[in-house]
Amino acid sequence: MEVRKNFVYKKTIFDYILIFFLLILASYSFQLLFYSFKNDNYVVEVYQDNKIVYRDFLSKDNLIHLRNAVVEVKNNKVRMKESSCPYKFCVNTGWIDKPYKQIVCVPNKIYVKISGKTTQGVDGVSY
Amino acid sequence: MNSTTFYMKNDEVGITFFVLTASSLQIIESFFPHPVPGVRLGLANIVSFLAIVYFGIFKAIEVSILRTIISSLFLGTFLSPSFILSFFSAITSTISMWILYNISLNTIFKFSPLGINVFSAVVHNITQLLLVYIFFIQQKNVFLFLPLLLVSAVVTGWLTGSLALEIVKKVGFDNIFLIYEISVLQNKEEKVFNADWLKLILFLIFFVLVFLSKKIHIQASFFIVFFIFYLLQKNDINVFWKNVKNVLWLIIFSFLILLFLHPYGKVFLKWKFLIITFDGINLSFIYNLRILNIVFLSSWLVQQYSIQELNFIIKRIVFFYPSGGRIVSNSLFLLPNFLEDVKSQVKKINFNNPKRIFENIVDIFIKILFQPTGLK
C-alpha cells in the first residue's frame, strides 16, 4: 500500500519551516494592519469652534451642513458652498484639492483642511 | 502483527460513524466556555483528517459538511451566523488538509500530520474572518484579529495534529479496522411529512432581504416586526437567547470596531486620538441588527419545524444526493445514544495523572471511531 509507505510518522523539518513561516506571517500581518490604518489617501477635516465636526476621505462626495455655512466635497475637491459671513472670503477661495491647502472662515470660526502625504517634487520652477 | 480482518460492507456506515464522532465532539466542545473569542480547539478537525487518510477527499468533505449540519440541527443553530461560519470553514480547512497531505505523500516536502493540521487550522481561521468580512461586518478592521487567530491556530493545530498522528500510529493501515454492525443502521420506516413549504419560502425570502438591505431603518423595522411576530407566535425566547450567546463575540466586536476604529464621517465625539463618528455608530447598529435578524430567523425556523421535518426537507432539497440524506437521518437517530457513549468515555479520563491524559484521549478516539459500542 503506497499510502502506508509514504505516510509521515515523525515531525519533519518542513513542519517547523511551515510553522515558522506562519508565525512570521502573523507578525507581518500585524505590521501590515498597523500601516493600513495610516491611509495615504487625502482626508478632509472640518473644524468649527476649534472642534472637529467632520472627517472623511476626499474621494467621498458629501454635503456638510454647519452652523451658518455649507461645505461641499465633490470630485476630489472641497469648497465652501455657502456662508453667512459678510465678505465671503471663504466662498471666494473656491475649490481646494491638495494637502495643506485650507479654507478659513473667521466670522463663523470654520476651518477646512486636507491632510495627507504631499507628493514629492517641486511646485514650480522660475528662470 | 495483529491481523484482524478489515471489512466494511458499505462506505456509508463508516462515514456515518465518522460523522457521528465529529458532530458529537463539536457538540461537546460547544458546551465548554471559550475564554478567547473565535478560538476553539477544533477536535472535530481530527476526524476530518482521519477521513482523508482512510476514505479520501470526497468522503472527507462529505463528513465535514454533514457534521456541521447535524451538530447545528441538534443544537438548534441551523442557518444561524455561527452555522454559516463553521460550515464554509470546515470545507476549506478539509480541502487545505488534503492538498498538504497529498504534497507530503507524493513529493519530497514531507509534512507530518502536525504540520498539516496547523496549516488547516490557519486556513480555517482565515476563512472565518473572510466570511465575517463578507457576510456580517464589511469593515477592513475585522482583520485586526488576524494575528491573534493565526497564533491560536498554530497552537490548536499543533495539539490536534499530535492527537491525529498518535491515532494513525496506533490504528495503522493494515490491521484492526472498522467492524461495524450494519444491522444497527438499518433504516426505520420513514414517516412522510407534509412539509410546510410556504414557511420555508417565506424564511428564505426574508433571509435574503436581511442580507441585502443596508439601511438602518429597514433593518430596525425588520427587527421590530420579527420581535413582535416571534412573541405573538409564542415561540420560546430562550432559543433566541441561546443563539445570541453563540454570536455574542461577533456582536460585541462589531460594536467596538465601528465605534473606536471608524474615524470617518460626521464626528460625534473626540477625545485625544479617539474619534467616534455618527457613521460608525450607524454602521454598527446596521451590522448588529442584521446579525440579530438572522438569529431571529434561524431560531424561528428551528421552532417551526421539528428535527425530523428539517431532515426530511433537507433530503428533498438534496434529492440528487440520497446517501447524504440517509446518513443525516441515521446520524440524527443514533446521535443521542452516541453522545451518551462519548460522555461516559470522557468521564473515565483520570485528570489526576496529566501524563496519561493525552494517551487516554487517543484511546477514546480509537474506541469511538473504530470500535463503537453502546449503540442499540
CA nearest neighbour of B160 among B119, B102, B114, B127: B114
Q: How many domains does chain A have?
A: 2
Same domain, B294 and B313: no
Residues in B closer than 8 angstroms to A15, CB to CB, are: 111-112, 114-115, 118
Residues in A closer than 8 angstroms to B1, CB to CB, are: none
b/e per residue A9-34 (b: at least 16 CB within 10 A) = eebbebbeebbeebeebbeebbeebe
Same domain, A6 and A63: no
- Which pLDDT does position A89 carry in this prediction? 92
Three-state secondary structure string covering B30-74: HHCCCCCCCCCCCCHHHHHHHHHHHHCHHHHHHHHHHHHHHHHHH
Same domain, B179 and B249: no
Same domain, A32 and A47: no
Same domain, A25 and A51: no
**CATH code for the domain in which residue A51 is found:** 2.60.320.10
The pTM of the full predicted model, rounded to 2 decimals, is 0.84
Boundaries of domain holding A10: 2-36
Boundaries of domain holding B208: 197-304
Contact B118, B154 (CB under 8 A): yes
Same domain, B182 and B210: no
Q: How many domains does chain B have?
A: 2
- Which pLDDT does position A38 carry in this prediction? 59
Contact B267, A54 (CB under 8 A): yes
Q: What is the pLDDT of residues B131-159, one digit of tens each?
A: 999 988 888 888 888 888 899 999 999 99
CA distance A52 to A46: 6
Last residue of a domain, one of B304, B328, B345: B304
**pLDDT tens per residue across all 127 residues of chain A:** 567 778 888 889 999 999 999 999 888 887 777 766 655 678 899 999 988 899 888 888 989 999 899 999 999 899 999 999 999 999 999 999 888 889 999 999 999 999 876 655 566 677 7
- Per DSSP, the three-state class of B163 is helix
Same domain, B36 and B88: yes
Same domain, A20 and A75: no
Report chain B residues touching chain A, CB-CB < 8 A: 53, 104-106, 109-115, 118-119, 122, 140, 143-144, 146-147, 150-151, 153-154, 158, 165, 168-169, 172-174, 261, 263-267, 270, 275, 277, 279
Lookup: cell for B233: 407566535
Same domain, A84 and A23: no
| Nearest chain B Cα distance for residue A92, angstroms | 25
